[in-house]
Structure 1
């Protein structure tokens, strides 16, 4: 990614973060009257971060050479960044200060090791798949193939979950929280773009989705970042109906960029009978 593009990403990220905060949320007095900007002014961010307005303005323009960790930490507190946003800002600053450095890793690994498939196959009570940081699904177990049958039903290989979310109408039926899933998918790709700014494969995927989907383009321009860890995901499966499943995303240390995603359910959970039926039915025949 060219240095100018990274600086623009820094500008857009910082601008979007201050635009979402009101003075009241930031703990600043509100003196009333009409404000000329959405969210905080630059001067207010500078005040909260204990730096000069001139210095903050330079940072927001992407001029981050020699910026200290202390200043970045103060900005993070002032803008109320969460852990993922802090890491994203730090990654952008590193990229801006070393524009010709090769990416630390390629999150677009195109295949997984045989042993990962063996691990998936051993998880008989969980739906599990391996994905890369581009949201390509590289390996699945039997229950994941049954759960994600619609997403895997594509001529594009490997199947990509972001393409499914934004280009396949079945996704809006499958994900009962489609809006949240769409937000998280874009945020995950945006996070990876900050970590690997020279990743041309990811840039091509983003360009494709932004061209094909106004929904994707709108969310990409919001500069929100997300990281899958754990939680609950709400599905509607064509065969067994509604499923509220617990998910965990487990990074693979031996293969940076790969993640094992698992879906499980307590036997006492309301949707446990439906999940059991899905296990018994298995994936539809090809």
Structure 2
């Protein structure tokens, strides 16, 4: 694997910015939590080069786990932090590591391969700096190549429609990390529950998104435009996700947003 990136080194940290807006990771050789950059990101805590904790933090790092080094990962817009953290947890479990446990959103099947591919990039970089998560001895199947989607100005003029899963909406991908749902969108009312009747993580994520925009929703219909960051967030907001939203959003001719933007 060849990874193109820019590197910034100091005594206290190593900052690596991946090319083509594929995110950034910073290795802090310190247990000073105040060094954590105030943005939502995935963090890995190490002690004597052994992984101790994986989580998602926003604004500041709060943990009771003892560590001497921490890694902050800010993935690109199309990689969800919760899914990436969950993938690291799975890899740690496969390696037999006992970590401080956090509850993370399960990875939908249609995001698993892209999340795994991105995790592999991060693991390759960390391994070069002496931080590794030892894989299990079981042979792994080769992961299919990650499907990448790229915003372009021409896409910003296209209206994509949703008319599925008891929801309706018109969506415009107006900027690289801005998806605008036009006012008048109808949101799915019924909440999908776990088998035991409890609220699942996907449903809780949707609940959080809708609460953040509660002033723009009345009787499950948006009264103003709502701007979200990704196709995944749009799927959660409108119909609790649970499917590949890149195939759900389609233009007036039935061409999906995936067909418009996938990098082949």
| TM-score using structure 1 length | 0.27
Q: Considering only CA atoms, is the larger Rg found in Structure 1 or Structure 2? A: 1
- Of Structure 1 and Structure 2, which has the larger fraction of its residues in strand? 2
Between Structure 1 and Structure 2, the one with more helix by share is 1
TM-score in terms of structure 2 length: 0.28
Q: Which has the higher contact order (CA 8 A, sep 6+)?
A: 1
